[in-house]
Amino acid sequence: MPSSPAVIGVDSSTQSTKAVVVDASSGRVLATGRAAHTVTGTAGARESDPEQWWRALAEAVARALAGLDARAVTGIAVAGQQHGLVTLDASGRPLRPALLWNDTRSAPQAAALTAKLGAEGWLARTGSVPVASMTAAKWRWLCEHEPRTARAAAAVRLPHDFLTERLSGTAATDPGDASGTCWYSPATGAYDSGLLDLLELDAALLPAVAPTGATRAGSLTAAAARELGLPEGIAVAAGTGDNMAAAVGLGLGGQGLLDHPVVSLGTSGTVFAATRTRPATAALAGFAATDGAGVHLPLGCTLNCTLAVDKVAALLGLDREDAVPGGEAVLLPYLDGERTPDLPHASGLLTGLRHATTRQQLLGAAYEGAVFTVLRALDALPRTGEDVPLRLIGGGARGRTWVETVRRLSGRPVVLPRATELVALGAAALAAGATTGEDPVAVATNWGGGTGETLPPVARDRAAWDRIAAALPAAGALGRP
């Protein structure tokens, strides 16, 4: 006989795919599987073959199911890296590698789009100002640099849309991930036809927008079931973007916590909060939450976080934890350009170097520079005073130096959620919602995904903060084309 009902949540990120099998009633993670991705490109280009994502999904699910009863699985959902541009032919096969969120070649197109409507015009219509990360800028880059590919496109998808369609045979997206395209309006809950005309993008190429990420997009096809070793016909949720899924996994949203800021330290660094306030500021991306109900997910995002600091550690020949505060040194690790601040052509900046500066201080300065860049966006989030705890998630949340640097530069209490794979856990809650009709935020809240150890505040290191802030104008001057 099958075991008690289970669901699968998939986190298809920039570097890898993770799949978790979760007991649908308790939220207990029964098993986890992983498979790596390859990212290619130089000089601002960052690309991946979408077929690789599908193979990695199948491999991760197979590893997670090893030793488990696959017949117990009742639903599956995918949370994917945001903003990536996937172009497909009429048979659903990729025409070229996907342009990823951290591909900065579309910076000129983003600037041109911003000039068309002005920052205020874009904020009013989409909640965001185009930057190189946004899918609209990538589509314009493709139209200008590879027009034959753009003309040949029979479908345009985001990464999680591509995988959801492979699972269910249905072209569907959700409000959360769609809100990162700059052709969808969170205010109206629909694609903006005027923006599609401006972008020269046919609405017929886009997937339908489901009401929420937990909406049942369809059923697992026979072909997908054979590849994944899962029962045919189980529920496939519409899914969402990775940041929206993390919010669900933490229990943030209309049926959960509102106005509680989250700091995520991964390949990118992000700060976000679920709120009913729709902010309109260029400092944030005005995303929608995936659970609907008039909830927004304003988010600030940086390009350079854990990978950039690990690169500095490798250059210095140090372990990533062999760091001390930077002293007089300031290191802004903008190794891939930067999104916040909008400096797509920037490179790393080191200043304040002295004879007495040690390697350990230089590594500490890289941590400080990365954390400072992420935390600057907190001030733009609505209703998040300094007494409100930060929920710290992502790979960096498991690193002692990352945690202590966030505490020292923020001066806030920090909550370390017990759940470690929050994006995949949030996707699992979406799968549960698609299966039972329950609200996924309420499901994740009952699972306890957002609970964990609370670390008290420490005295804020304002000297380090001010020292780094003083170096920003130099980074800006060097980061312009």
Count CB atoms within 10 A of the CB of residue 398.
13
Q: Are 61 and 35 in contact (CB under 8 A)?
A: no
What is d(CA 394, CA 417) in angstroms, rounded to the nearest whole number? 10
The question of whether 342 is a catalytic residue gets the answer no
Q: Are 323 and 413 in contact (CB under 8 A)?
A: no
Structure token pair of residue 370? 């990365």
What is d(CA 430, CA 436) in angstroms, rounded to the nearest whole number? 10
Given the residues 242, 291, 336, 342, the one annotated as active site: 242
Q: Are 126 and 184 in contact (CB under 8 A)?
A: yes
Count CB atoms within 10 A of the CB of residue 17.
27
Q: Are 182 and 128 in contact (CB under 8 A)?
A: yes
In the chain, the amino acid numbered 346 is A
Stated as kind and residue range, the H or E segment containing 157 is strand 155-157
- DSSP, residue by residue, 100-151: PTT--TTHHHHHHHHHHHHHHHHHHHHSS---TTSHHHHHHHHHHH-HHHHH
Estimate the share of the chain in helix, then strand, then coil, as percent rounded to the nearest 5: 40, 20, 40
What is d(CA 344, CA 364) in angstroms, rounded to the nearest whole number? 24
- DSSP, residue by residue, 354-415: -TT--HHHHHHHHHHHHHHHHHGGGGGSTT--TTSPEEEESGGGG-HHHHHHHHHHH-S-EE
Q: Which residues are catalytic?
A: 242
